[in-house]
Every structure is written in C-alpha cells, then in structure tokens.
Amino acid sequence: MGHAEDRRFEVLRAIVADYVSHHEPVGSKALVDRHNLGVSSATVRNDMAALEEEGYITQPHTSAGRIPTDKGYRVFVDRLSEVKPLSAAERRAIKQFLDGAIDLEDVMRRSVRLLAQLTRQVAVIQYPVLTSSSVRHVEVVPLTPARLMLVLITSVGRVDQRTVELGDVIDDDDIAVMRNELNSSLVGQKLTDAASTVSGLPDRVRPELREAMTRVATVLIESLVEHPEERLVLGGTANLTRNVADFPGSLRQVLEALEEQVVILKLLAAVRGPGVLNVRIGEENEDEQMRSTSVVSIGYGTDDTLFGGLGVVGPTRMDYPNTIAAVRAVANYVGQILSGR
C-alpha cells in the first residue's frame, strides 16, 4: 500500500466507523468535521471519489452521503490488524457469568444470551459435536422391572437419556452386569468408535441376557449417532428488528433463514478449527436469504480438538471490531469451561 492508498484506507475506515455509529450515509464534510484526517476537505472528496470508483463505497440514491459496500467492509475487516480485546472487566464478567453454569445446556444458553447482549446481534452456538467427545460414563437405571433408563454422559458434559423396553423382567444383579459391561467396554472411547463397540456387546454377556443387551445396544447407538439439527441454540433474534432499515426488503427472509437453521449449520460447518475466525460479508454468503447479513463465526474447543462453532448474525453495517472481540472471548471461555480447565 502506497502513501495515498494508506490515506484512502483511513478515509474508508472513518466512513465505516461513522456509518456504523450514526446509521446515516456519510458526507465529506462530516468526515472532515468528525475525524482528524489531517488533510483538506478537497482531498477527502477526491479520496471518496476514488473509493467509490473502486467499489468500496456507494451512494444510496436518496442521499448525498456514501455508505460502505460489501467490498469496502471486506477490506476494512481484512485490515483490522489489531482487534482491541475486551477490557479486563468485560472478560471477568464473561467468565463469572459462564462459570455459574450448572451443566452443558446451561453453558450453551448462557453463551448465546451473553453473545447476543455483547454484540446486540443474533447469536448462535452449536452443541459440541459428538465426534469430538468420548464416553465418560453410562448409567443404567431401572424404571420398572421391564424398563430401563440409559444415561450416556460424554467428556464434554453432554447428557443423553433414553428409555429401553426390555420385553422381559430383569433383576438388579443382571442390571449390574450390564452396567459393568457397558462401562468397561465404552468408557474413554471416542463416540465414533463406541458405536461399533456397542454392536458387539450382546455377544459378551451370557445367553439369557443377550436379548436385553441387544435392546440396550440398539437404543444406545441412537445416542451415539449425531443429529446435528437438534443441536443449535439461537438467541437475540429480536435484535434484528431493531434496525429494519438494515435489511431492505429482506428481514423476513433473514428471519426465515435463521428459523430453518440449515443456513446456520452450513455457516458453522465452515468453521475450521478452535479459535479460527471466519467473517462472511453480505454477498459472500452463498445463501440468497443471507445476502444482507454478515456472519462472524469461530470454532471453540481445546487447543487441538474442535467441539463446535459459535457466532453472530447481523447486518453488514455492524461494529466488526467489537463483534469479533466478543465472539473470540466467548469462544475462548466456552472452550475452557467444557474442557474442564
């Protein structure tokens, strides 16, 4: 970047900042008044003309001012060399709020509520994907003499409960045998491997228990197989309606897309690794319905294991530095809490 280009970027940055905070298209006079750009208003006007020609800003037809285009936001985001991290107080607040969670469901709900509050956008988090976790414990609880409850607890604290109809009465000693067999063969196994182990369980018990163990195995396999569509928590959808003008003619589409969840699953599927941030701006969203939005997403987990994704969806006119800082911080703590650090 040459000197002139650098200065032009400063002008673009000022336009983005003003448009995000004032909701109004930005004119050269306002820029000169509000920002110490160190150049004459004639120079600023020339820079704006150049930025417009290059497609970084555009003029909405009803106004004299300019607004950033998707391409303009992209350059702005790419050159955010330093996202100012959240303040120590903000980080403490996040930590305290999330540390208060009692179980995985609660961690998910709190994270989403927190992200929605910090960014004033729609927040979404994906439950830890099963492939990243292993079996911590399998509990077998008799409900009636012929019906059991299976409780599968995974290493990230996910709890799955299912009932098994045994078709026959079973006594406590046999339940203990089954419980021991399940735990000795499954604990510590990755969930993906556990499914194949489970199918061999009926052969490992004595013939009278085989029928019961087959039923248990069949039900347990359902818990070990991923159902991603049940596994998203959304929060703060009402935040979108605060600025209807940000979604010209498409707010309903955006809300539908959020409801369908498919879109969000696709976006979260783009998550590459723990701590890797991804920003999709406007037209970069392959999904038609999401073209008026920007999506900031990130993976959470431990250093080497990706649990899932989280992020926010908002208008392209969002406060990117702040949003990115918040998304990073929340992902960081969720990863720490779930890995028990």
Whether residue 264 has pLDDT greater than 90: no
190 secondary structure, DSSP code? B
pLDDT (average), residues 133-150? 91
- Cβ distance 269 to 278 under 8 Å? no
CATH superfamily of 131-225: Enolase-like, N-terminal domain (3.30.390.10)
The CA distance from 97 to 104, in Å, is 14
Return the amino acid letter for 331: A
Read off the pLDDT band of 27 (50, 70, 90): very high
Fold of 3-78: Arc Repressor Mutant, subunit A (1.10.10)
pLDDT band at residue 142 under the 50/70/90 scheme: very high
pLDDT at residue 227, as a whole number: 62
Q: What is the pLDDT of residue 130?
A: 67
CA distance 262 to 195: 26
- Return the pLDDT at 303: 80
Q: Which residue has the higher pLDDT, 319 or 157?
A: 319
Q: With contact defined as beta carbons under 8 Å apart, do 76 and 68 qualify?
A: yes
The structural architecture, per CATH, of the domain 88-129+230-338 is 2-Layer Sandwich (3.30)
Res. 113: pLDDT tops 90: yes
Residue 42 φ then ψ, to 5°: -65, -45
Which conformational region is residue 148 in: left (phi greater than 0), alpha (psi within -120 to 50 degrees), or beta? Answer: beta
Query: Which segments of the chain belong to CATH 3.30.390.10?
Result: 131-225
* pLDDT on residue 57: 96
**Exposure of 324 by Cβ count < 10 A (0-12 exposed, 13-18 middle, 19+ buried)?**
buried
This prediction has a pTM of 0.78
